[in-house]
Structure 1
């Protein structure tokens, strides 16, 4: 019945078949309570996820599973009598679920995890049958024939596989354990079929163990192109429950196929069952090394290596310099078992192809990891190696060959050619004045920490100039220096690049100006000049500024407030207060209040803010490189901007000197 999404390799165990066993005798029943119970049992078994094709009808099958032996398609398990299981007797249904034999006698491939379902009790099978016969809508849809090649297409060989590996005994409670532990064991080992993905496999692709009596059970397994981590080193019941219910906890976030398990299955489990599963998992004997203790970032490695600088540019906006991420939003990389697996399969997959978090009732806001396939194989290897060896991590290095192999496996395009519009921080190390340039980049990224006397709020330069000014339409620094000196209408005079930077310090960062001859100012200007590339004052600067939304759009702040709560508050706070991590460092800047930009900042104006929002916010919203930003309509951007730009924020007394020659924009707050 249930074809597990990760079980493609099981079909490689194909010199196998199923011995026909004697089915137990059942009395028929279809009362409402039994159907409801059966629906819950189906959730425990995650039946719908595998037997519902994308955009297909519920339980009607047709979902393809690519395997080493060919393609297996899930079957129609609706109660349609012609193409589904509507003509199955209870005994035939039981034989299919717990023995892997269809009503006509053909053997199922163990992509359907019947070796785990064999532990299911008679009572749950009876309830499950009632649900499928009375609670699922019949769909007439013919099954797709499997496309297995020789010798995998010989189903009769499954007989011998089952003789060797199928244990037909139902779950037997351990009398030495309490009822809660036994309930957890029943779900994890049986209907939950956690071992299907998390237990290593033998030569015949069988799970090496189906219960906690073996140290191999749930010790982690690679089901290409994913690595399922060991579940034998878990220590917190609360964290397990939260992850299975919401898709994230304060330490980590589900990714890849596990997001589907949570979306379709575990989020619907009762709290009692989740707690029982957690108790059982925590009780398992540890396998392998414990996760490392988290340590502070090595600043020399962060700012003095190609991998560290690549991480700063492309990863730190979400995972942050300390590798701790943002709890329940972006996962930590420090001490993260999935990230630190000796087998980097999952890491390479998610970095190259991207992915999204689980969508649950508790967390309907899906966060995306961008697909970093446009970056080169060597630079991705440098970044991943840095991260896997920082903050106390001690995982193996990642090679460019490994990145290239995963790129090929996922059929992704080759890296995008480097261009002047996407300069790399890592290349700073090859410049004659690299120390000065790297310091300039560091000041842009860590302005609050490095210039506390000049920054009066929580805003770094990179709060607006995303990824240190290297993202098109995110106020990038491409070619900007070549435009100065320039006429500035707000100042009513020609200004220098130093004047422009000090304007940001006084307005956007609500602070005080830097001395023009200070080493900090000189480093920042040098960094921006390096970013200029070969652009002259008359050259076209691709991606300059933040784009434009039509000023003819009429703002709707009421709608903007609703959108803010739905799309922005998760990072910036329901009252615009921003967010800090446990160490007190800012994760996301405030959008209003005492620690936000003042009324004299350009982004305090509705349409300037809307331009930025349209091109760049919310991050992790849609799957765009490099930061999954954007995705809102022009009108939505204007509405959100009108709402938060008009919230209370610090004053800027020198505003009385702005636009001395006229031309003040209509959306200025003063």
Structure 2
């Protein structure tokens, strides 16, 4: 009831403001735009390069390029669509082109646009351009910025795109009234009670950085309810806001100074990795800030008291997966689709995939960003500290109920008491975001459906034996691998050697064994070769659980059927491998997860995160992955993960030649022997890439 009442009041208020704006606009439509008061700078015969470079830095801190460059377009030439509740605005060309850019403007006209929101020809700009914040820029900085835009940016002739604002917001004359009522043109005034570092941070946050444009709540006229930490609404400044279906988190007293500096410099810290439009802010703006300026901004933000205290979480606690991981639909959904990157305990992979524990996106009461990322995917910011980007694919292919279950599980375990997410919330977000769903003829089995079966305990055990083979069967695994190391997401990924339908094709003739083998034989072959371990007894409960899981995966498949996505595909065997190039590819694409020397990756407690690819803790020479072309086919479609936006792991992406080269490199590195190799291919037909 209260929510509906609030919505009604919001609509009534919006309508009232609209009527007031229109009425006032009609009354003041002949108002003369603010006079130009700034004097033209005297650059002399040539502009000082130092001033232009200073202006470049100012432009970076102001993040001009992020808004004034459309995807794939030339820098500063405009055309980027900016979505608002009132319609779509397109950023303008601010290159020095005299026809379509600002090359014919005077400095005074530029200064007025930056401080008053009025263009050279007198029309009002929409406050999507944060001129209320830019009004705080000092005269010296404004002059330097002008010098850079006019003398340091390449002119681009590109016509500006008209706006697509809804009525009545497409009537610009009302903006003059908006400016009178809402635009705070007060220049920045240092606080004499604070030190130089604090004041520098306040200037950058309030002015050039215009952080409040996204992180401060908006009022009834879509104005920032507070432009600084002072005044009646000061405690709402930077208190968090929903922007374009994202939730911009509260910045007040968020982290320690060091943590904030690390995020601004690298795009990630121990608690979070940036997402949404903040990715562009870090990539184009903040990472270029000097250490002194970033410390100043972090110092200022830390000084702002919050009504929602955020105790700094301790270091990541490495534990087992929560019990609900195997007993709830959300838990099993998480273990299937999220576990490989964010880990069973939510600690993530340092420097690669973000932790969920202590992450403000997970803990935010407004789940907009969490839902948005899940529906549309995510990519890390490319920074000098972390030049390689990692992606999270879109999970819009999952149903609203599935997503709600998974995200509620995440928040229950690592969200610090954040409320559960409902199916209706996901549906509403999907309606507004309208994510694209790639078509696929491979139907991904849902592990959550195991709970619907009468033998669910046995099936869940079978699934876990695939995912946690090393830990649950230490007497039978002689290295660092699990079944899911090769059969991705417990055998549910297309072209990732899925288990879908597999048991329907057994018993079957195996050329390597030279005889007909059963499903149990095939499983034990993996234990002996890929796991470099010992077979399970066919009658054991664990083997029976694994077989039951395979049979569940069979579904309605018949021996004569063709299963889409089965196996790992093929690689062109006419290609010749180049191990020297393979070594380079390994260093660039594989070493981050599997170690520079193939030793694998472990967490701070010594637990295996990603397995070794050679050495004593890897698969032996009898494994299929020790064969160059088999390994190449697997790599091409499944490695690396987080490489692009392919569902469900962002997996694959190398060319046939690249996959072949890197497979030749790692498959021929030292690894354990397989004593029974002399018994293989007794009837002939040994592949050309066999290791023995």
TM-score by length of 2: 0.91
| CA apart distance, 1:548 | 0.4
More off after superposition, 560-569 vs 245-254 = 245-254
Q: How many residues align?
A: 659
Farther off after superposition, 145-154 or 423-432: 145-154
Q: What is the rounded CA distance, in whole Å, between the counterparts of 2:161 and 2:353 in structure 1? A: 39
Worse overlay, 325-334 or 577-586? 577-586
Equivalent in the alignment of 1:4: none
2:515 is matched with which residue?
493
Aligned to 1:44: 61
Query: Is contact 2:321–2:344 with CA below 8 Å preserved after alignment?
Result: no
Match 1:268 to one of 278, 281, 288:
288
Aligned to 1:181: 198
CA-atom RMSD in angstroms: 2.3
Q: How does 1:216-615 map to 2 (within 5 A)?
A: 216-290=236-310, 296=319, 299-391=322-414, 393-412=416-435, 421-615=443-637
Provide the C-alpha distance between the structure 1 equivalents of 2:386 and 2:168, rounded to a whole number of angstroms. 45
Shift of the alpha carbon at 1:19? 6.6
Partner-residue secondary structure (3-state), 2:82 = strand
Alignment CA distance shift 1:421-1:139 (3 Å): closer
Q: Answer yes or no: is the 8 Å Cα contact 1:481–1:529 preserved in 2.
A: yes
Residue number in structure 1 paired with 2:646 = 624
CA contact (8 A) 1:263 1:358 kept: yes
Superposition deviation, residue 195 in structure 1: 1.0
Q: Offset of 1:575 from its aligned partner? A: 1.7
8 Å contact from structure 1 (residues 375, 415) kept in 2: no
Taking the aligned partners of 2:321 and 2:591, their CA distance within structure 1 comes to 32
Give the whole-Å Cα distance in 1 for the aligned partners of 2:227 and 2:562: 64
Taking structure 1 as reference, are residues 349 and 629 closer, same or farther at Cα in structure 2, changes over 3 Å only? same
CA contact (8 A) 1:297 1:391 kept: no
Post-superposition shift, 1:22?
6.1
> Contact conserved, 1:252 with 1:327, CA < 8 A, in 2?
no
Structure 1: gaps of 5 or more residues:
1-10
Per-residue deviation at 1:45? 0.5
1:184–1:273 Cα contact (<8 Å) kept:
yes
Aligned residue for 2:173, secondary structure, equals helix
Residue range with higher mean Cα deviation, 634-643 or 229-238: 229-238
Deviations 1:162-181 (A, max 9, x none): 22332222222223333222
- Measured after TM superposition, the shift of residue 490 of structure 1 is 2.0
Give, in whole Å, the separation in 2 of the partners of 1:257 and 1:185: 22
Contact 2:36–2:109, Cα closer than 8 Å, also in 1: no
SS of the residue corresponding to residue 623 of structure 1 reads coil
Offset at residue 126 of structure 1 (A): 0.7
Contact kept? 2:363, 2:415, Cα under 8 Å: no
Give the structure 2 partner of residue 53 of structure 1: 70
Q: Measured at CA, do residues 249 and 577 of structure 1 come closer, stay the same or move farther in structure 2, by a change above 3 Å?
A: farther
Mean CA deviation greater in 66-75 or 632-641: 66-75
TM-score normalised by the chain length of structure 1: 0.94
Instruction: Select which of 191, 195, 199 maps to 2:212.
Output: 195
When structure 1 is superposed on structure 2, of 148-157 and 41-50 the one drifting more is 148-157
Deviations 1:106-125 (A, max 9, x none): 22111100111111111100
Unpaired stretches in structure 2, ≥5 consecutive residues: 1-13, 26-30
> 2: CA distance between counterparts of 1:280 and 1:242?
15
